[in-house]
A and B are shown apart, each in its own frame.
Chain A
Amino acid sequence: MTKSKIGTMEAIMLVLTIIITHTISALPREILVSTKSATIINLIFVSILAILFSYLIVRLMKNFVGCDLIDISEYLGGKVFKNIVGIIFIAYFLFSSSILLRNFCESIKIIYYPMTNIIFIIAFFVLAVCSANRLDFNASLKTNLLIVPLVLASILFLFFANMNNFTPQRAFPIFGDGLFHTFVLGLGNLASFGGICFLYFLPPYLKEPEKLKKIALVSIVLSAIYLMLCVATLLFMFSFFINTNEITPLYNATRYIEFGSFFQRLESIFLLIWILAYACYLSITSKFAMNIFKKLTHIETKKPLIDIFGLLIFGIALLPKNYAISDQFETEIYPYLVLGITFCLGFSVLILASLMKKKSKKLSANTEHL
């Protein structure tokens, strides 16, 4: 049993995986479009909120030691409510990861495999995920522990290697489209911290559940720094991401890295690292989805689910007719899903369950007193 437990570092990298995959896709562009030159200020503001939010989650989850959100929702609303919450999270994990996969595969197709049908590119990822999921729960997390630092290092490298192309003055006008856009409408950028949803499901798997607070805070701070580096790279380098839509904006930034005439065209290395990060992300989200399903249905093993979930990811990824639809999902629907499911649903369940527990504690204390 202890073998399948997650270490503190593994858990931190797990939370980071979500933000990493989304920044490789359209996330930095969307943040830039929404808050323009005020993006850095907005991100600082949103990051502080995300840190507060994750701290609150940890505080509330302390009332339910060793339980995840599914257990807590069962405590709150019984089996029916537990099933509803579980299904919502399974659907959220599957849809978000599948559409993200579709978008990433579209980029790979445009850049490297123009003559290959996208079905095969998606299938390649799905097969990798199905194979990885057959291994121990920890296998993907340990691979992720290797890949995520590599991605972080690549983004740091991207930032510093492009510094000579920076125009820092692009961080002005300081308030972008105005205070309302930066601090009120810009609250939508809280959706960037979608990795927080893993915090709801981590406690039963942690080797040291008491370190959940450390995991939450470190992972959100790292996510914030990572996101700021990505967005700052684009904001300081290009004037066009605010007006022009471009797939995989960070890939565009990698094309500018040159060290003399010898070290050029480093974008392939970046893309290779990102492909590995995507495979890890898919494996982790599908594993969590399967674990929730297992919990809902009380099946003994998740082995038969591996191929079914793989096929589901494959099928959902193929649903959008074209890139426009999948991009619309990622940029217009996904943020609301994160805000609705992670920040509203999950948090509401936690608050209500905590209140319920407090009430029942009070009641039991009163009856004891009587």
Chain B
Amino acid sequence: MNKIVRNLFIFILIIAFLIAFSSSYLSLSMDNLAYVLVIGIDKGTDNNLEVSFQFSTTSKSTESGSTEKTPTVMDTVTAPSLSTAINLMDGYMGKELNLSHCKVIIFSEELAQEGISEEIYTLINDTQIRPSSNIVISKCNAKFYMEQTSPELENLISKYYEIFTNSSKYTGLKPNATIGDFFNAIICKTCEPVAILGGISTEKPENQGNNHIQENYNVKSNQTPIEGENGSENIGVATFKDDKLVGELCALETTTYLALRNRLDRFLVSIPDPDDVNSYVDIYLYPDGNTNVQVDTSTNSPYIQVKSKFTGRIYSMSNNSQYLDPEILKELSETCNKYLESVFSDYLYKTSKEFKSDINGFGRYALGNFFTTQDFDEYNWCNNYQNAFFEVKVDTSIKSSMLLTET
């Protein structure tokens, strides 16, 4: 009798647990979920947000077996907040929106200028959002940016968004700015957040027609000389002060930003040819260890010393190139040092005087100068950064060219 009662008890327990846990499993069933790939947030009317969601759909296979480009679905809802927008879209789609595969969150420039902390906090509070989701600030409407994005080399848009920041390691033209880092920087007292600068190539750069090679490094999203079918382009950095957009960095400044933050494997620079003022030499630079930063906080104007080391390989070749001559390599190294010191310095003063925003996170190097948190708080680093002075030293050692050494 005892055994029967025990078995019955176990049976009832199993049934109860099955029922209790099945509701959670059912809600997470693929049939009940709509997977969001991209969220675009624009400023709507009457203080509302215009939130666009891009969803993945199942891919169609042709009879020959080849896979066609997968169409995506995009819907937009106007709501007072992001959470309300998600809820409304749940109802509209008849499925629960799942953000666990959301790769990119796009904010329009207009909204970012007013502050996006509320949206960032809401998204971070969501268990489904990955901290590795990228943040893009679109020069145009976020919805338009999403509509125009059509990767040329990928059938799946999710695949494109998964890898589109990979090139930042070797081009230095865009940062891998994630929501995790953005949230961390909003709260941090020693740094400020950044995002990827996105846009649609609608206008050609003003200097088009000018063959000055350096101008190609001054471009940013919306103004690139690229013609293609990708639609959107992501070159540059959107810089923030707290949660508000305060400025943009062009391609060369973005490379500088990434180099100073030790987030580059290599990058290409064009330095003036020491032998011919009208021509340029393209050099691949490889960071030689981390950037050395020292911050002096003895006055209210922080004095920041930046030392970077690079090794280089000459990439561009022409007739009469003599890259086996140590003197020429030394001369090139010195020219490169001067050029980079000027670029780095201009960039640093721009962040300090123009943006008043320590996007480089130099504040963390200042922490060691204080004994207590109160001392550091009293110093008011974020405010004093605008008074900062910089000394940049670059030590480049150009080793050789690549396959060709002399022509």
Q: Which residues of A contact B (CB under 8 A)?
A: 36-37, 110-117, 120, 123-124, 127, 167, 169-170, 172-178, 238-240, 243-244, 252, 255-256, 258, 261, 264-265
CB distance from B134 to the nearest CB of A (A): 13
Decide: A177 and B21 in contact? CB cutoff 8 A: no
- Chain B residues with Cβ below 8 Å from A261 are 162-163
Residues of A within 8 A of B289 (CB): none
Contacting pair B184 A238 (CB below 8 A) = yes
Query: How far in angstroms is the closest Cβ of chain A from B376?
Result: 5
A256 touches B131 (CB 8 A): yes
- Asked if residues A116 and B368 are in contact (CB atoms below 8 Å), the reply is no
Check B372–A175 contact: CB distance below 8 A. Answer: yes
Q: Which residues of B contact A256 (CB under 8 A)?
A: 131-132, 180
Within 181-211 of B, Cβ neighbours of A (below 8 Å) are at: 183-185, 187-190
Say yes or no: A258-B163 contact (C-beta < 8 A), given A36-B373, A240-B187. Answer: no
Chain B contacts for A120, CB-based, 8 A:
16-17, 20-21
Asked whether, in the complex, the Cβ of B189 is within 8 Å of the Cβ of A239, the reply is yes
New A-B contacts (20) at CB < 8 Å, excluding given A172-B367, A264-B132: A37-B373, A110-B127, A120-B21, A167-B361, A167-B364, A169-B364, A169-B365, A169-B368, A176-B373, A177-B373, A178-B372, A238-B184, A239-B188, A239-B190, A240-B183, A255-B131, A255-B180, A256-B132, A261-B162, A265-B130
Instruction: Assess the B372–A255 pair: CB atoms within 8 A.
Output: no
Rounded to whole angstroms, the CA-CA distance of A170 and B127 in the bound complex is 26
Which residue on chain B has the smallest CB distance to residue A253? B131
Q: Provide the bound-state CA to CA distance between A37 and B188, in Å.
A: 13
B240 to nearest A CB, angstroms? 15
Contact of A116 among B20, B163, B372 (CB under 8 A): B20
How many residues of chain B get a CB closer than 8 Å to chain A's CBs? 35
Distance A255 CA – B23 CA, assembled complex (angstroms): 25
Residue B30 interfacial (CB < 8 Å) = no
A173-B376 contact in complex given A239-B188, A255-B131, C-beta closer than 8 Å: yes
Is B374 interfacial (CB-CB < 8 Å)?
Answer: yes
Q: Could you tell me the distance between the alpha carbons of A238 and B187 in the complex, rounded to whole angstroms?
A: 9
- Give the residue among B23, B163, B184, B373 with the most A Cβ atoms within 10 A: B373
Are B21 and A116 closer than 8 Å at their CB atoms?
yes
Whether B57 is near chain A, meaning CB under 8 Å from some CB there, is no
Bound: A177/B376 CA distance, A: 10
Q: For the complex formed, measure the closest distance between the CB of A282 and the CB atoms of chain B, giving whole angstroms.
A: 18
Whether, in the assembled complex, B375 has its beta carbon less than 8 Å from a beta carbon of chain A, the answer is yes
Does B62 sit within 8 A of A, measured CB to CB? Answer: no
Residues in chain B within 8 A of chain A (CB atoms) = 13, 16-17, 20-21, 23-24, 26-27, 127, 130-132, 162-163, 180, 183-185, 187-190, 361, 364-365, 367-368, 370-376
Complex: chain B residue closest to A169, CB-CB: B364
* Chain B residues within an 8 Å CB radius of A111: 127
Most buried by B among A114, A115, A170: A115
CB-based contact B184/A240 at 8 Å: yes
Q: Within the complex, what minimum Cβ distance (angstroms) separates B135 from chain A?
A: 16
User: With A and B bound together, what is the CA distance between A261 and B154 in angstroms?
Assistant: 16
Q: Cα distance A175–B368 when bound, in Å?
A: 10
Q: Which residues of the other chain, A, contact B23 by a CB distance below 8 angstroms?
A: 115-116
Contact at B187–A169, with CB atoms within 8 Å?
Answer: no
Q: How distant is B62 from chain A, measured CB to nearest CB, in Å?
A: 26
Nearest Cβ in chain B — how far from A191, in angstroms? Answer: 22
Docked complex Cα distance between A240 and B374 (Å): 17
Residues of B within 8 A of A243 (CB): 187
From known contacts A173-B372, A258-B132, A261-B162, infer whether A37 and B367 are also in contact, taking CB-CB under 8 Å. Answer: yes
Q: For residue B377, give the distance in angstroms from its CB to the closest CB of chain A.
A: 10
Alpha-carbon gap, A256 to B188, bound state (A): 18
Sort A-B residue pairs by CB-CB distance and give the 5 closest, nearest first.
Answer: A172-B367, A120-B20, A239-B188, A169-B364, A115-B23
Interface pair B372/A124, CB less than 8 Å apart: no
Q: Which residue of B lies closest to A256 (CB)?
A: B131
CB distance from B159 to the nearest CB of A (A): 9
A95 shortest CB reach to chain B, Å: 26
Choose among B17, B24, B189 the residue that contacts A112 (Cβ–Cβ < 8 A). B24
Are the C-beta atoms of A113 and B372 separated by less than 8 Å?
no
The reply to whether A176 and B187 form a contact with Cβ atoms under 8 Å apart is no
Q: Roughly how many angstroms separate A169 CA and B168 CA in the complex, as a whole number?
A: 25
| CB within 8 Å for A178 and B374 given contacts A115-B24, A169-B368 | yes
Q: Which residues on the B side are within 8 Å of A240 (C-beta)?
A: 183-184, 187-188
Could you name 7 residue pairs across A and B whose Cβ atoms are closer than 8 Å?
A114-B24, A116-B20, A124-B17, A167-B361, A169-B367, A178-B374, A240-B183
B361 to chain A, nearest CB (A): 8
A173 touching B373 in the complex, CB below 8 Å, given contacts A110-B127, A112-B24, A115-B23: yes
In the complex formed, the residue of A with least CB distance to B166 is A261
A172 touches B180 (CB 8 A): no
Q: Is the CB of B373 within 8 A of A170?
A: no
Whether the Cβ atoms of B371 and A174 lie closer than 8 Å is yes
CB distance from A255 to the nearest CB of B (A): 5
Q: Do the beta carbons of A173 and B367 come within 8 Å of each other? A: yes
| Residues B27 and A114 in contact, CB atoms below 8 Å apart | yes
Q: Which residue of B lies closest to A173 (CB)?
A: B370
Contacts of B189 in A (CB 8 A): 239
Q: How far apart sit A51 and B252, CA to CA, in the bound complex (Å)?
A: 55
Residue of A nearest to B364 (CB): A169
Q: How far is the CA of A117 from the CA of B21 in the complex (A)?
A: 8
Q: Which residues of B contact A252 (CB under 8 A)?
A: 131
CB-based contact B375/A173 at 8 Å: yes
Contact check, B371 vs A173: say whether CB atoms are below 8 A apart. yes
Complex alpha-carbon distance, A360 and B371, angstroms? 52
